[in-house]
Amino acid sequence: MKITDIRTAIIRANFPWNLIRIYTDTGPIGLGEAYWGPGIVDVVEKLKPRLVGKDPMEVDKLWTYMMQLMSGPGSIAGATVAAISGIEIALLDLVGKHLKTPVYQLLGGKFRDRIRLYADSHASNLHDPSNWQKRALQVRERGFDAIKFDLDPLVRDMELDHFNRTLTNKAVNYMTEFVAAISETLGPDVELALDCHWSYNVTDAIRLARALERFSLLWLEDPTPPENADALAQVRAATSTPICTGENLYTRHGFRPFIEKGACHIIQPDIPRCGGLLESKRIADLADIHYIPFAAHNVCSPVGTIASAHVCAAIRTFTVLEFHSQDISWWDAVVDREDDPLIQDGYLTLDDKPGLGLELNDDVCRQHVMPGTLYFGETV
C-alpha cells in the first residue's frame, strides 16, 4: 500500500476545522484533523510530494520524517506541528482501517470505553451573572458534570493598562462574585473549570487563584503566559487551586519543563495540535512519572474529537476531554452515522469499528466549506 494523494478541506464552524484525507493505491482513505489556524493547509501541501509513494503503515517513521523535513520552517511548534499532527491522525485512521482494528488498539489498547467530557461554555451577556447561571443550567441539563467558563473577558473593561498583565482588587472581586454565582447554581456534583488565556503576571495570578480556593475548582487554566514554566511553577506552589496548562505547548519537549518543574497540577495538550496521537501518549507517560493527570484541550469537529477520544482511552491517567461545540447544531451531522448522538450525558462512547470509526457526511460538510477554499480538491 502506498500513499497517492493528500487533500484538505476547511469547514467553517465555531473554529475553522482543518480536515485531511490521505488516499492510497489500494483504496482505503485515512481521515484526520489538524488544529485551527492559518498556514495548516500550506504545510500539508508542502509535505504532500514528500509523502506520496510512502508506506502509510510506517506511522511513527513518517512522523519523524515530517518533523525532520520541517525543522527549518518550525517543527518545534505552531502550524507546522499542528499540520503534522493532523496527517498523523489520518495515517493512524488509515492503518486501523487496513488492519480492521480501532485506532485505540494501535495505541496499546483502551483503559476505558467511555470518555468523559467537559463543556466549554459562554454567556451572551458577560456582565450579567444570571446569564452565566442560565448557561450553566443548560449545560448541566444536557448531562455534563464538568463545565468551563472564561474568566478573563469579564474584566477587560476594568484594565488600567491592557498590556501590563495586572489585575486590580476590583477585578479579582468581580471574578469571584461570578464564580460564586455559578458554583451555587451548579451545586457540588458538577465540577467547574475556569480559563484565563495566559493573561496575568505571577503576583496577580496567585491572588486570583487564592481567592478562588474556596470553590474547589476542577482547575484554573493558563493564568500566566505560556512561555515560562518557572513563572507558572510559582503560581502552582502558592495555591491549593489546581493549575492546568498545555493548550499552547508542543511535543514532549515543550511539555517537559512544565512537568519536571512542577508548573501545573494537570497537563492539558491539544491532541491535534501538540504532535498527534502517539506524541500525546508520550506526553502523558512523561507526566505520569510525576503523577500529573492528563486532560485534553479540544476545539475540533467530530473527527478531531473522536481521534482525541481514541488516545484518551489508551492513556491510563486521562481525566476529561473538552467539548467546545455546544452551539453548532449540525455538529453530529458532520459525520455519516446512523447511531445515537456521539455525546450522551457528558460522555463519548467508543465502539470497535476500524480506524477512527467514522466517515464524513460530504453533503453536510459541503454546506459549510470555508468560502474561497476547495473541498478535498473539489470546487463547491
Residue 72 grid coordinates: 527549518
Give the residue, 122 or 63, on which the prediction is more confident: 63
pLDDT of residue 338: 74
pLDDT of residue 348: 97
Residues 6+ apart with CB under 8 A from 163: none
- Contact of 52 with 103, CB cutoff 8 Å: no
| 380 pLDDT above the threshold of 90 | no
Bridging pattern class, strands 16-24 and 29-34: antiparallel
Q: Compute the distance between CA of residue 190 and CA of residue 161 in angstroms, rounded to an integer.
A: 35
pLDDT of residue 168: 96
Q: Compute the distance between CA of residue 331 and CA of residue 368 in angstroms, rounded to an integer.
A: 11
Question: Please, what is the Cα angle at 186 between 184 and 189, to 5 degrees?
Answer: 115
Q: What does R_g of the chain's alpha carbons equal in angstroms? A: 21
pLDDT of residue 304: 98
Q: Compute the distance between CA of residue 280 and CA of residue 321 in angstroms, rounded to an integer.
A: 13
pTM, two decimal places: 0.97
293-310 exposure pattern, b = at least 16 Cβ within 10 A, e = fewer: bbbbbbbbbbbbbbbbbb
Domains of the chain, first to last: 3-101+360-366 (3.30.390.10), 106-349 (3.20.20.120)
- Contact of 323 with 119, CB cutoff 8 Å: yes
What is the Cα 1 distance to its own chain's centre? Answer: 31
